[in-house]
Structure 1
Amino acid sequence: MFIQTEPMPDTSKMKFFPGKEVYVSGTIEFDNTDKASASPLAQRLFGIPGVAAIAFGYDYILITKTSGDWQHLKPALLGTIMEHFMSNAPVMRPARRTPAGDDGETSEFVDQIMTSLREVIDPELGYNIVDLGLIYDVVIDADGMTTVAMTTTTPGCPATNYLKQGVQDRAEAVEGVKLVQVELTYEPRWEPDMMSPEARQHLGIY
């Protein structure tokens, strides 16, 4: 994998072109580590000392440094970008969706469901499935049907039925939930980078 770089007029910025699609929905910026929680790649890059901000475009990564020389910073950045794309991990974590026209009430309802789902513990990793990144989506339709899209750490995981039942039970336990459908998917395949910073710290993954 060959990554091209392009210096910018502002010497604190540099573009990196990995030769792959990065962010197909336009551009997105991360100016701190909290905002980067939606992106495994951005989290990795913020872990490199000297990175101040990150932006994704269709085929590039724009990195802003705090100080120092690009000559010393570039090798770590190039290695991190290469490792990420070679692992086939997603650039962005799957987003939770709520119906179009949501007035905020549905979003709060989804948050309540996600809180309840944190009580489901993966028996292998010993941590809740939400922060492990196993819940891909929660959608509530106009008829009150709640659909939860989830995955497991590996296809054929022996705990699959246990986890699906746990998701079903905990979602149904939320007051106001009428009917729950649990969908199992492996697209995209789960990667450790999908875990929250808290889960990574708990499991000693940095």
Structure 2
Amino acid sequence: MFIQTEAMADPARLKFLPGREVLADGVLDLRDMSEAAVSPLAERLFSIPEVSGVSFAKDSIIVTKGSGEWPRLKPAILAAIMEHFLSGAPLVRAGATAGDQPSRSNRAADEAARIDRIREALRQVIDPELGYNIVDLGFVYDVAVEEGGVVRITMTTTTPGCPATGYLKKGAGESVSAVAGVEFVEVKLTHEPRWTPEMMSPEAKAIFGIGDGGGR
């Protein structure tokens, strides 16, 4: 059995590809030994002291380390994965109930927290003309997070011919790429709907004097 590995943007995470199906559907994220009780493989992995997180997807296993160096940890992780598949044990134990696994609400909360981190990263991108961040200016229309650490950003600029367009797109991509767990970023530019100052956050409107009774 040959198991490949792939580096990830977050140096604390490493992807293992066993060359066969791991999980039939969806993604299963496990964060400690108590959650690992639903999976024989997760228990093997969490028995390695430095392992702090395990995520199963269709054809991959992502391991998060809390400490240690990958050259020393990889042999133990590879052995655990190989032993599991050679044993013929299921990934998830028969009879494990939905309550034994991380709930959908927990996963939704995790995704919401990830989007919040992405938006905070995007706040580091400053429009050179207005001198304010693109999130509170209302330039970021959508942030979508997909399986495998894929993030798709839909954004705009003040006008279709804005000279800072390239700078802002590049800045958005680079800032989001630095967020832990993000593997690929696509930044899509749109001018539908056209941006207006009313799209600014209340904080930005206050800075620019836009609001009830205000003007710029």
TM-score normalized with structure 1 length: 0.50
Tell me the residue number matched to 1:107: 112
Higher Cα Rg, which structure: 2
Tell me the residue number matched to 1:8: none
Alignment of 1:190 onto 2:199: no
Q: Which whole-Å deviations, capped at 9, do the CAs of 1:48-69 have from their partners, x for residues lacking one?
A: xxxxxxxxxxxxxxxxxxxxxx
Q: Which whole-Å deviations, capped at 9, do the CAs of 1:126-174 have from their partners, x for residues lacking one?
A: 1100000000000011232100000001011000000000000100011
Q: Provide the secondary structure at the position in 2 that maps to 1:124.
A: coil
Alignment of 1:166 onto 2:171: yes
| One-letter amino acid of the counterpart of residue 196, structure 1 | S
Alignment map for 1:9-158 (pairs within 5 Å)? 103-158=108-163
2: CA distance, partners of 1:163 / 1:152: 8
Structure 2 unaligned segments of length 5 or more: list them.
1-103, 212-216
| One-letter amino acid of the counterpart of residue 208, structure 2 | L
Tell me the residue number matched to 2:183: 178
Tell me the residue number matched to 1:205: 210
| One-letter amino acid of the counterpart of residue 157, structure 1 | C
Q: Provide the secondary structure at the position in 2 that maps to 1:136.
A: strand
Q: Which whole-Å deviations, capped at 9, do the CAs of 1:26-80 have from their partners, x for residues lacking one?
A: xxxxxxxxxxxxxxxxxxxxxxxxxxxxxxxxxxxxxxxxxxxxxxxxxxxxxxx
Cα deviation, residue 176, structure 1:
1.0
How many residues are aligned here? 107
Q: Provide the secondary structure at the position in 2 that maps to 1:188.
A: coil
1: CA distance, partners of 2:108 / 2:209: 39
Moved over 4 A (4+): none
Tell me the residue number matched to 1:67: none
TM-score normalized with structure 2 length: 0.48
Tell me the residue number matched to 2:4: none
1: CA distance, partners of 2:149 / 2:125: 22
Percent sequence identity over matched residues? 54
2: CA distance, partners of 1:173 / 1:141: 16
